[in-house]
Amino acid sequence: MDSEQIDLKSPDNYVNRDLSVLAFHRRVFEMAADDSLPLLERLRFLCISSSNLDEFFEVRVALQKHRIVLGQGHPGADGMTAGDLLAQVRLRVSDMVEAQYHLLNDVLLPSLAAEGIRFLRRNEWNAAQAAWIKRFFNRELLPVLTPIALDPAHPFPRLLNKILNFIVGLEGKDAFGRHLLHAIVQAPRSLPRVIRLPEEVAGPGYNFIFLSSIIHAHVGELFPGMEAKACHQFRVTRNSQLLVDEDEVEDLKKALAGELLERGYSEAVRLEVSTKCPEDLSDFLLHQFNLKHSDLYRVAGPVNPYRLAAVCDIVDRPDLKFAPFTPGVPARLQVDAVDMFATLREGDVLLHHPYQSFAPVVSLLSQAADDPQVLAIKQTLYRVDVSSPIVDAMVRASRNHKEVVAVIELRARFNEEDNIALADRLSAAGVQVVYGVVGYKTHGKMMLIVRREGRQMRRYVHLGTGNYHTITSRYYTDLGLLSCNTALGEDVHKIFQQLTGLGKASRLKEMLSGPFTLHKGLIQRIGREAENARAGREGKIIAKMNGLEEPEIIRALYQASQAGVKIDLVVRGICCLRPGIKGLSENIRVRSVLGRFLEHSRIFYFYNDGLEDVFCASADWMSRNLLRRVETCFPVLDDKLRREVIGDALRPYLTNNASTWQMQSDGSYKPVSGRGLQKSAQQTLLDKLARL
């Protein structure tokens, strides 16, 4: 077909966002099935895939159900209605859940047992083990379990989101002479879901039992004088969206805190029950949660496999885990008592996390907190551990009488409670806390330090693709730039002015920012590559990100492909663009790379007729990031560092054949088969930058 006859807005040219999310979750699950990975890491990937599905139901399925209720289930760019989408979700999730439990029961658990890591079923307990388990039940469980019989005076209880529960079928009379049929038992949240048996009763190695097995074995003791005829585990997943109308509340923090109390009890979106649960009991539960049969998923094992992740940390078997490493630091910082300010005056510093340490970022902030020449510190905080050294340094800086401003995004999903606690701690220390902008999440990652140096006021900045979270910096791949470049400093200063003063958007010299110039700037640069290609010059785009969904960006990429631009996209998760369609996207290749670390960096390369522009960003190419969030996108201006980004953080992913999938034009993914030695970009960077 002639490219001029192709309708770029046709739904046929777009993959559904949520089905693309599910395809990503499937790839994570396939990591668990990869027998070339260490055994305990495979178990961890299985747990992650289970947690990913939980969040998918809490957020995406909940959203589609809500749209149907409101009569807003109209098609998106892909043309799929909410009702049709949920039907597809049901088919794909059912298939994935079946595969998860098959892998767990028939592959991983037997393989773990062969390594001396056993999960003992009730029918495997010997007399000594059964006696120890009974004592454990009486000591640890019985005092905190609250069985709730169901009758007119005891209606069906409110059950928390994702908590392990049991429905119990009863026979006989209770202490008051009542005939009761059903009761609910909720497992205490305070107890682990897997318990290790001591060696004196279980022998050498690691021997675990499920908390659910203990409760199941002794549930009759919760109903003296009655007989527990049936006991089946179940779990309900609820909508986790927080419904706070920011335009209608006077205090966002207080409103969010109130909404968080109710999040665990919002409307149900999924019910999971044991495969052995009779249909009459599962129907009873569906009725209680106002769910349909299409919302029911039967599982052949623990209803929350994610809790098995604890085993990966308990078991001390380095041979069954990824090899440990120590993050490196750039050569210029490998000196004792490095003066971060003097180092940055000599030139920018680029950090590749987690291969290189996050410590230089902390050191810069810590030195600023104690330096009498530093007058002000400003920082955005999206996901941060409350007790982290980052927060400690900000508190210390405030107590040292510096002007300290923290722009905290309270609405970082599933971190709202931690962010409220963070805001309280910083406010109590005298830090000026700002909660971003109403209607726009503050997602950009930036730090600004203002220092008096003689008669000059110099700005030092840190700009990153990831959060200021010292824990996740060990597991997420991200880039961070430390600089005292004048133009970058002025740009960061202007963005902070917009966040705190809420004035008009100022023109930036080097950076792009969302929601003002980022979307337009990306489309302009994509268009420039297309113009160069049409003029007979080389056009090339390489972009690495977590998600690609924004329709105008996709159409611009299609047009660039039609013009002859070679486009390589490394998209870890969502991708709504269809690559490889003749006359439309035949010059576009999309790869998804997974691995030991979560690929999180956003890097955009434009050939620009040989001048090679390289940007790093906090934003993916998603509608929410480009149009409804405060985001930062910064150029790598230093020639050496620009070559480093291209050579280390981009090009290796184009030849990576380990844990890599190539996207097909129908939206499916095929593993990239490696010929000869496996090429792993992550391992290459570990070998080059870390200390093994």
Q: Which long-range contacts (CB under 8 A, 24 or more apart) does 608-617 make?
A: 608/525, 608/528, 608/529, 608/532, 609/532, 609/537, 609/538, 610/538, 612/642, 612/646, 613/525, 614/642, 614/645, 614/646, 615/512, 616/463, 616/464, 616/465, 616/479, 616/481, 616/645, 617/465, 617/512, 617/518
Q: Are residues 223 and 109 in the same domain?
A: yes
What pLDDT does residue 247 have?
40
CA atoms within 13 A on the CB side of 368: 35
Torsion of CA 363, 369, 371, 375, to 10 degrees: 130
Q: Are residues 490 and 533 in the same domain?
A: no
Average pLDDT over residues 366-392: 93
What pLDDT does residue 272 have?
97
Closest C-alpha among 540, 514, 536 to residue 525? 540
Question: End of a domain among 469, 487, 507?
Answer: 507
Of 30-39, 105-114, 410-419, 458-467, minimum mean pLDDT range: 410-419
Q: Are residues 354 and 289 in the same domain?
A: no
Give 226-276 pLDDT, tens digit per residue. Answer: 888 899 999 999 998 644 444 444 444 454 444 444 445 589 999 999 999
Q: Are residues 153 and 261 in the same domain?
A: yes
Model-level pTM? 0.92
Q: Are residues 395 and 431 in the same domain?
A: yes
Query: What is the DSSP track for 337-395?
Result: T--HHHHHHH--EEEEETTB-SHHHHHHHHHHHH-TTEEEEEEEESS--TTSHHHHHHH
Select, from the ranges 162-176, 230-244, 385-399, the one with the highest average predicted confidence (pLDDT): 385-399
Of 115-129, 204-218, 409-423, minimum mean pLDDT range: 409-423
Give 332-369 pLDDT, tens digit per residue. Answer: 998 888 999 999 999 999 999 999 999 999 999 999 99
Query: Is residue 204 one of the residues assigned to a domain?
Result: yes
Work out the pLDDT band at 6, boundaries 50, 70, 90. Answer: confident
What pLDDT does residue 175 have?
67
Percent of the chain with pLDDT over 90: 75
Q: Are residues 503 and 627 in the same domain?
A: no
Give 607-649 pLDDT, tens digit per residue. Answer: 999 999 999 999 999 999 999 999 999 999 999 999 999 999 9
Residue 104 above 70 pLDDT?
yes
Q: Are residues 315 and 390 in the same domain?
A: no
Query: Is residue 467 one of the residues assigned to a domain?
Result: yes
What pLDDT does residue 245 have?
41
Question: End of a domain among 458, 478, 507?
Answer: 507
Q: Write phi, then psi, for 544 (nearest 5 degrees).
A: -120, 130
Query: Is residue 39 one of the residues assigned to a domain?
Result: yes
Among the listed residues 182, 232, 353, 443, the single catalytic one is: 443
Pairing of strands 512-514, 441-442: unpaired
Question: End of a domain among 320, 344, 378?
Answer: 320
Q: Are residues 75 and 199 in the same domain?
A: yes
Work out the pLDDT band at 674, boundaries 50, 70, 90. Answer: low
Classified as helix, coil or strand, 277 is: coil
Residue 271 has which token pair? 């019910």
What pLDDT does residue 536 have?
97
Q: Are residues 467 and 530 in the same domain?
A: no
Q: How many CB atoms lie within 10 A of CB 80?
A: 21
Query: Is residue 636 one of the residues assigned to a domain?
Result: yes
Work out the pLDDT band at 690, boundaries 50, 70, 90. Answer: very high
Query: Is residue 310 one of the residues assigned to a domain?
Result: yes
Query: Is residue 5 one of the residues assigned to a domain?
Result: no
Q: What is the CATH number of the domain that holds 487?
A: 3.30.870.10
Higher pLDDT, 129 or 253: 129
What pLDDT does residue 261 have?
46
Q: Are residues 679 and 632 in the same domain?
A: yes
Work out the pLDDT band at 322, boundaries 50, 70, 90. Answer: very high
Q: What is the distance between the alpha carbons of residues 42 and 398, in angstroms, rounded to a whole number?
A: 45
Are 533 and 556 in contact by the 8 Å Cβ rule? The answer is: no
Residue 280 above 60 pLDDT?
yes
Question: What is the chain's mean pLDDT, rounded?
Answer: 91
Average pLDDT over residues 422-430: 89
Work out the pLDDT band at 681, boundaries 50, 70, 90. Answer: very high
In the residue annotation, 232 being an active-site residue is answered as no
What pLDDT does residue 256 have?
41
Query: Is residue 629 one of the residues assigned to a domain?
Result: yes
Residue 183 above 70 pLDDT?
yes
**Number of structural domains found in the chain:** 3
Q: Are residues 315 and 340 in the same domain?
A: no
What pLDDT does residue 665 have?
95
Query: Is residue 3 one of the residues assigned to a domain?
Result: no
Range of the domain at 673: 513-689
